[in-house]
Structure 1
């Protein structure tokens, strides 16, 4: 059944929930200002906005995490107040947060039914939970995930699927999905959309938050755009609103060229990074490739294809089975990230919050983490030097407010990614490895990050970009390596490849 067939009666559907004149203030900050928003039974209402626009605050008000300072919430036309998340859950509102709140030491089934455990005779029934969990996972197209597995053993994508199953384990009338596809591959996204369509066909309302505008076109009915805590556009029909209009609403400006022109490389430009016969897992084919000064090399492939593992082996955060990595001809010690950093290599990992940032530390600490030895003498650091370097990076990266003493966790996703990039800029990298550099980043910040990558390329830095978004790989790169099952199945110039060709290659695992 097509999306249009499922949602053809949107105009006749009743309004399930309304938020009127919602205001939310925190000390020194007005997070939401007179925001009104509504969702109809059986529709997908998309909520867009840059990081920091107020989307997370709005859904937390709706989920009972925050209480509004002003305004009202109506469910079925009756005013209601959620004093806690439990109140919202009891009203039939389920929430899938972008930052997963799973317990890694518990099983998949235990996480899915956490807080509303299945019981018999007053005791928790693990068998009943596992049976029901298997049904929910099957509904999402993931029968391969065992309900008895510990969540900590799953990939980021697998944990996202568990979070979805957890939200669906209750009788929901409205489900909020915050960036649900961020760590999913194309097939998993298709399964997600089928689940959403089944939900809306049964009358469930969906609030869908995503930075991927093409996703919105596939799954959405209406759109509301937030900017600076206000609803700057409401109830836009997806079919009648262009991407350009949405970007203008979100940013307040027109972004006509999302990708800057790829920097031209002169003949004879030297290799900076050499990867020779690298075997990242037993029984795998060896990988060999070079990256020239100023070149951007894209790695394209599905989640789990080996892209991130290749970066980890190059950087030394994992030790390869065999092979050699060189920076400017100097051989690096295998499995030593310290040696890689000393040689001028930097890594922006896929999971920036858990793998790259000191969330409870200041921007100063985060910017200078890779170069701490430079900012002092006789074993003591110089706060003055660190502050000066941090202020320089804040200026280059256009972070606002320009306060290097802020904690990293207080910044939006886009600004947090800029901090990780800024760390390596202050370190003076020769090679930069970027794993999903714009995941969870809004369209305005994406444009700024793309421009920054272009500037780094012009400065002669060798760059490898891993991205699940093929448009991004093709738009940023000089050359593309298509990866499937830890092997390179095709090499080609980005200008000579299309998204369709790459998808054929990664799905078939064969060469052109």
Structure 2
């Protein structure tokens, strides 16, 4: 197939950083082309150059689309030719309807008056095309993430998409929703729509991609044809520039110690629908030096459980008991939870985990400000010392501790979140989706931090939608479904099939 897109010699610089260095990318018409690389490799930057987010003139190099040179000066310019990008952070208005979102900025109107009948009819056609069985008048905020992702794709189809760019489209989805989205991409391929897929989930890339381009440190280092299959280890080797013998660090030889935290009969009601129990009479324990995993499908109640334990940050009418180190504790506020030795690293680092517009120096000490203050005034020298120590300890890639966290890659942002909680020196650390949206190299570094903390006697609880991750990093697993724990097993006896069978069986018994 002839190329629909060619990017030649693309170089993009920011102050003090060369984000892209002479990158060439060729995408054949009608293929699924995967773009992979570590966080900070330049994938999103390259796509922002292509889509006009970084306009022509702000970079060096040439872009050819449909065989003709293009100079996109805005997103509107690229969209007019059918180049549509769906960013990792969805660009939907939560309180508008599905139909209103699909045609936002592209309204069905005559003489400036919106034709609502045409809007809803056309939206219904687009929803059917992406396999979303929802009324076009449904408010977007009432949809789950998987369905919102499909609304974004329907929105792209409304603009007569020819090249669809998806940046980490499955990073927030469960396995079922991810599979549906990948099937949709393959269906688009049959209909002649070209896709560029940015993803850290190499199993998904291997499943659907026709061609893979690997970026490393702002350069295109490999192009791989998937016609005869592709080895994930080869992809990883090109991504990180070395052999990665293991995806997970070895488990320690130490045995878990005494019970660090015991939760008894924990029940949480939905904050808006108090008749609904999102966590139903859950009891569990985690030991010192143990990495405990909680598996389950999206909506099982895992995050709700974690947030409700951490200072009752979620839910209402919460009941149950918690003991830490054998003593009953009051976790009714976040401050009390921290003082009791509990920490919670949220699954949504951008919204809840970081002050994105502030620096590494300011973010790292946030959970333990008294430690860097004198007479309630922050000691800026001590603040810088702490930030530098954790920047070095977790190998945070940045120009300095003065770099603003919004400009860090996802993996390095996650390391700042971990640094914040490590400085608080908790006894029990809850990690909710700790490697969401980050690359295999950064994942390994975070897994190593988890194992090191366990070796120091910390109790770690890991919530993850990636079953291989739970099997690779934990010592023991609970399986959660519909607000209840439906299984428990040592990780050495666990498998993806066993975990899923517990979930399915519990659903049948309900």
TM-score by shorter chain over 0.5: yes
Q: Is the 8 A contact 1:223 1:238 kept in 2?
A: no
Q: Is the 8 A contact 2:255 2:289 kept in 1?
A: no
Q: Is the 8 A contact 1:348 1:437 kept in 2?
A: yes
Unpaired stretches in structure 1, ≥5 consecutive residues: 1-12
Matched ranges for 1:486-497 at <5 A? 486-497=483-494
TM superposition shift of 1:402: 5.6
Matched ranges for 1:392-411 at <5 A? 392-401=389-398, 403-411=400-408
SS at match of 1:364: helix
Unpaired stretches in structure 2, ≥5 consecutive residues: 270-275
Distance 1:421 1:409 in 2: 16
Query: What's the counterpart of residue 231 of structure 1?
Result: 220
Instruction: Say which of 336, 341, 351 aligns to 1:344.
Output: 341
Which digits, 9 at most, give the CA deviation of each residue in 1:169-205, with x for residues without a partner? Answer: 2211110011111111122122112211121111111
Distance of aligned partners of 1:262 and 1:127 in 2 relative to their CA distance in 1, 3 Å threshold: farther
Q: Is the 8 A contact 2:237 2:243 kept in 1?
A: yes
Query: What's the counterpart of residue 7 of structure 1?
Result: none
SS at match of 2:280: coil
Comparing 128-137 and 218-227, the one that deviates more: 128-137
Instruction: Say which of 63, 79, 84 aligns to 2:69.
Output: 79
Distance 2:137 2:263 in 1: 40
Instruction: Say which of 291, 298, 313 aligns to 1:317.
Output: 313
Distance 2:51 2:190 in 1: 23
Matched ranges for 1:74-473 at <5 A? 74-144=64-134, 146-237=135-226, 239-266=228-255, 269-281=257-269, 282-283=276-277, 285-315=280-310, 316-319=312-315, 321-401=318-398, 403-473=400-470
Distance 1:162 1:126 in 2: 18
SS at match of 1:447: helix
TM superposition shift of 1:235: 4.1
Distance of aligned partners of 1:246 and 1:324 in 2 relative to their CA distance in 1, 3 Å threshold: same
TM superposition shift of 1:502: 1.4
SS at match of 2:21: strand
Query: What's the counterpart of residue 27 of structure 2?
Result: 39
Comparing 436-445 and 257-266, the one that deviates more: 257-266
Query: What's the counterpart of residue 18 of structure 1?
Result: 6
TM superposition shift of 1:166: 1.8
SS at match of 2:89: coil
Distance of aligned partners of 1:395 and 1:39 in 2 relative to their CA distance in 1, 3 Å threshold: same
Q: Is the 8 A contact 1:185 1:303 kept in 2?
A: yes
Distance 1:299 1:264 in 2: 22
Which digits, 9 at most, give the CA deviation of each residue in 1:17-46, with x for residues without a partner? Answer: 111111112222221111111111111010
Distance 1:157 1:386 in 2: 40
TM superposition shift of 1:379: 1.7
Distance 1:295 1:262 in 2: 10
Q: Is the 8 A contact 1:139 1:195 kept in 2?
A: no
Distance of aligned partners of 1:476 and 1:463 in 2 relative to their CA distance in 1, 3 Å threshold: same
SS at match of 1:142: coil
Which digits, 9 at most, give the CA deviation of each residue in 1:116-155, with x for residues without a partner? Answer: 01124531133432333333333333314x4334334444
SS at match of 1:432: strand
Distance 2:427 2:25 in 1: 48
TM-score calculated relative to the size of structure 1: 0.93
Q: Is the 8 A contact 1:48 1:226 kept in 2?
A: yes
The alignment status of 1:474 with 2:471, answered yes or no, reads: yes
SS at match of 1:509: helix
Give the paired residue count. Answer: 498
Which digits, 9 at most, give the CA deviation of each residue in 1:55-80, with x for residues without a partner? Answer: 01110111111135322111221212
Distance 1:240 1:194 in 2: 18
Q: Is the 8 A contact 2:12 2:19 kept in 1?
A: yes
SS at match of 1:286: strand
Which digits, 9 at most, give the CA deviation of each residue in 1:408-453, with x for residues without a partner? Answer: 1111000000000011111101111111111110111011011111
Q: Is the 8 A contact 1:265 1:295 kept in 2?
A: no
Distance 2:227 2:344 in 1: 38
Query: What's the counterpart of residue 36 of structure 2?
Result: 48
TM superposition shift of 1:238: 6.0
Distance 1:345 1:157 in 2: 31
Q: Is the 8 A contact 1:277 1:287 kept in 2?
A: yes
Comparing 316-325 and 248-257, the one that deviates more: 316-325
Distance 1:150 1:333 in 2: 38
Distance 1:314 1:323 in 2: 10
Distance 1:131 1:344 in 2: 55
Q: Is the 8 A contact 1:160 1:183 kept in 2?
A: no
Distance 1:500 1:120 in 2: 55
